[in-house]
Structure 1
């Protein structure tokens, strides 16, 4: 312990010397405003929870564009629409990269996944996901999967509702997670992750679900060594060790899927969609590309693509599908007039129980889309995933140094009274249809079917936002 103490003391002294050495980068006179900082840690002491609220308070004092120093890293924080528009799309290429944090190297397979640096490799990965997963044609070809899995969940809920109980308590958030994993795995590998007996959510199923959420969810822990290079040895025995364990679990899960497809040419893995086209699991498409382009579609790249698909149901993955649906339910129960309007819209278009909602109906249900969009606005989305500047640039008339992190405080923008009257209220009618996308289709179809089929009532002893 004495040796560890003196080592830590030495590292701290070296960090202080590093921070105040004369050859440190000269501060540019046109940098954005910045709060007073502390030696070594910079502004870390200002990032109190909830972080989005702390950043909003700083924005009220220093303006919508300000700079934080987090250890050795400069971080640009934006809290206004006009400032964000200067970065996207004006300086979009400059801010196209994610920060290459040392601790993230493990989970991102040495930065070879879709979070890779901007360049040819990144373009090829984006092209594959855009054409094979998120294009309108691909989404249409996978519509039967979404419909089947949502019917699968609704059938179970209906079966439970006919067991003699007028109102039954249901862990809807967990069911949404089961639905999400089932849809993703069906698209990726052509099979379910959970079967009907799992929908009762016994302890075994909950354990399996928690394990999958931990394995494929976002890893949000901050590594000390990313911001204090001299302390990276602490990171290795802390956050990076956790990431290595998660990486091994992800790798084993995905490798098992790949092995199953390579060793089993099962005709049930494909299905014919309207128009006569064959819908194939994404793994089969990737393995076919591996045969034709083995130098690019390596085993690690294939695993990275599958990992990203399973980890992020929404293109903007700061708010996943299951959380969004459960928060939407909470808001609709708190605003029964919105629930009634959504049901009336569905009944008028689909009919009162004459048939269930399907993918083709979604474009004609603008109010349902507005409800989801409004949930994403007022829900607890904090700071969007960070970007990093690849060279010096100007934002809002300020000089932004190369290598600066970019944080967009979406919470502050969503509540800007200049953009939205009564910004703290849930008012779906002011929103417009956000367009199509995999996450939106899954949420709209699942929520719409639940609205169509069931009456909802909040559990009295658990009346909080399900986040």
Structure 2
């Protein structure tokens, strides 16, 4: 009898919780004309439909429910945008309303309560930090000043591959190391010991992986305790603490060591240029700037530079070489262009790249098929608004799914095929003006580091195909290369990219 009463009590409690959830959901979704929505589960809403690879799962749902689709992720109403026209409608007409960021437990823990540029709320603080990035850290002049660093590190990479022959080359590891060394020199003025760099890269990998997690507390706050039980909260604390210690050490070195101030590198004109940390310290001291940059803001900006600079460049190169290895004709065509433009030189330099149209087409096509962040960083509406005839409530999370947008057959012929030729003679670019190609985001919240990432990627790719011929290990057929993606905010290959290099220049 007691067991029967206990069972009834449990059932009654479940019904009451469901009714409470249903009431709250209905009270927040009473717009006159909301976007189409898939059926929802109690409490979880549509969370269970995200799957291991959310950009693909959301594409499948959008094919059934439309380019503007409303999901309920726990208690978060989430608008999923899956077409170029829908993105254009939002950005051209309502961008200010959709320029905020939703609250993120992970961003708060790792990035000093959202004091960086990527996750900061839209407002005066964000505008100030963005201006520092655009005008001080990532301006065209400053990015060009890092040319010597990029060329030196690329040459070192080529030498390292040459020494490793005939061993199989782990290109994934090679790209991560190269990108981190370039960013390290640009940000801190020097490279650190191999042990320090190794520890830093492990920490950075954990940092990027955490940004791709889905904390239960973000979506169902009363279940936040699950993040403690599954270890996520502990990981966040550990990574945040260890990163903070490293960044404090670097700031102290720049503040107290005369050898690190203003001596980070020389520009291509031989002028001494300051590294990122030097620039941030100068901004902090400059009373004419009109706003203050505290220590936490500097550390948050540095983390942005490292995470974005390292991860975006290495991921782009990893997918570019993967596609070239799968498409030997495209690889040969790129090699012919690079070798023709660079004939007689030991390496390809950035001046040589300017007229390499096929190289630029390969980069664009790689970004089209493999955007580093297929689900662009989420936005949040600040007030009620009508989009394409649909009512969107205030505080609705907005997810732009670049993956289906960039494979839309309306814009792209044979959209799933790797065809760099489609960009030859095309004016379509990835800087946010063409809504069918938005790998770096769009509008005010687009990535300010496009030039930094592309400059490095083009140089590395050109030198890889200039100095070496490439094939898969054990002479495997090109079509057998596994292209399975990893899960996370930024999408890498699930498995490392391995290849065999044969010297071309010194054969």
TM-score (norm 1): 0.87
Name the counterpart of 1:322.
Answer: 314
Distance 2:42 2:247 in 1: 45
What is the aligned counterpart of 1:153 among 140, 152, 157?
157
Aligned to 2:505: none
**Whole-Å Cα distance in 2 between the matches of residues 13 and 279 of structure 1?**
66
Aligned equivalents of 2:459, 2:56: Cα separation in 1 = 33
Match 2:235 to one of 238, 242, 249? 242
1:107 equivalent to 2:110? Answer: yes
- 2:458 counterpart residue number: 444
Q: Determine which of 282, 286, 291 is the counterpart of 2:280.
A: 286
Give how far 1:270 is off. 3.9
**Which secondary structure state, in structure 1, belongs to the residue aligned with residue 303 of structure 2?**
helix
2:126 to 113, 122, 129: 122
The reply to whether residue 189 of structure 1 matches residue 188 of structure 2 is yes
Say whether residues 1:52 and 2:55 are aligned partners.
yes
Do the aligned residues in 1 keep the contact of 2:326 with 2:481 (CA within 8 Å)?
no
Question: Structure 1 78/56 Cα, relative in aligned 2: closer, same or farther at 3 Å?
Answer: same
Matched, 1:220 2:212: yes
The answer for the alignment partner of 2:173 in structure 1 is 174
- Give the 3-state SS of the residue equivalent to 2:69 in structure 1: strand
Shift in alpha-carbon separation, 1:416–1:321, aligned structure 2, 3 A: same
Task: Answer whether contact 1:67 1:77 (CA < 8 A) is retained.
Answer: yes
Q: 1:372 aligns with which of 363, 367, 370?
A: 363
* CA pair 216-260 structure 1, distance change in 2 beyond 3 A: farther
Judge which range, 85-94 or 412-421, deviates more: 85-94
Match of 2:301 in 1: 305
Q: Aligned pairs, how many? A: 443
State the Cα distance separating 1:300 from its structure 2 match: 0.5
Specify whether residues 206 and 309 from structure 1 end up closer, same or farther in structure 2 by C-alpha distance, changes over 3 A only.
Answer: closer
Name 1:86's counterpart in structure 2: 89
Tell me how far apart the structure 1 counterparts of residues 245 and 208 of structure 2 sit (CA, whole Å): 12
- Give the conservation status (yes or no) of the 8 Å contact 2:204–2:307: no
Q: Classify 1:79/1:252 alpha carbon distance in 2 versus 1 (closer, same or farther; 3 Å).
A: same
Q: Secondary structure at the match of 2:78?
A: strand
Q: 1:42 aligns with which of 37, 42, 45?
A: 45
Q: Distance in 2 between matches of 1:207 and 1:135?
A: 30
2:352 to 361, 373, 394: 361
Contact 1:218–1:311 (CA under 8 A) maintained in structure 2: no
Q: 1:285 to 1:10 in 2, by over 3 A?
A: farther
Q: 1:19 aligns to what?
A: 21
Between stretches 376-385 and 258-267, larger displacement belongs to 376-385
The separation in 2 between residues aligned to 1:409 and 1:286, in whole angstroms, is 33
**How much has 1:416 moved relative to structure 2?**
0.9
Partner of 1:131: 135
- Matching residue of 1:463: 481
Match of 1:343 among 335, 353, 357: 335
| Counterpart position of 1:400 | 392
- Quote the Cα distance in structure 1 between the aligned partners of 2:13 and 2:127: 40
User: Closer, same or farther in 2 for the Cα pair 1:56/1:271, shift >3 Å?
Assistant: closer
Q: In structure 1, the residue corresponding to 2:129 is in which secondary structure?
A: helix
| Contact 2:190–2:264 under 8 Å retained in 1 | no
Distance 1:14 1:362, change over 3 A: farther
Give me the whole-angstrom Cα distance separating, in 1, the residues matched to 2:170 and 2:198.
11
The equivalent residue for 2:405 is 413
Is contact 2:188-2:264 (8 Å) kept?
A: no
Query: Displacement of 1:275 after TM fit?
Result: 4.7
- For 1:202-217, list aligned pairs within 5 A: 209-215=201-207
Asked if the contact 1:103–1:239 (Cα under 8 Å) also holds between the matched residues in 2, the reply is no
1:31 Cα deviation from its structure 2 partner: 0.5
CA contact (8 A) 2:254 2:277 kept: yes
**Distance of 1:227 and 1:193 partners within structure 2:** 40
User: 2:502: which partner in 1?
Assistant: none
- Residue 94 of structure 1 contacts residue 391 of structure 1 at CA under 8 Å; is this kept in 2? yes
Rounded to whole Å, the distance in 2 between the matches of 1:275 and 1:229 is 55
1:153/1:26 Cα in 2 relative to 1: closer, same or farther (>3 Å)? closer
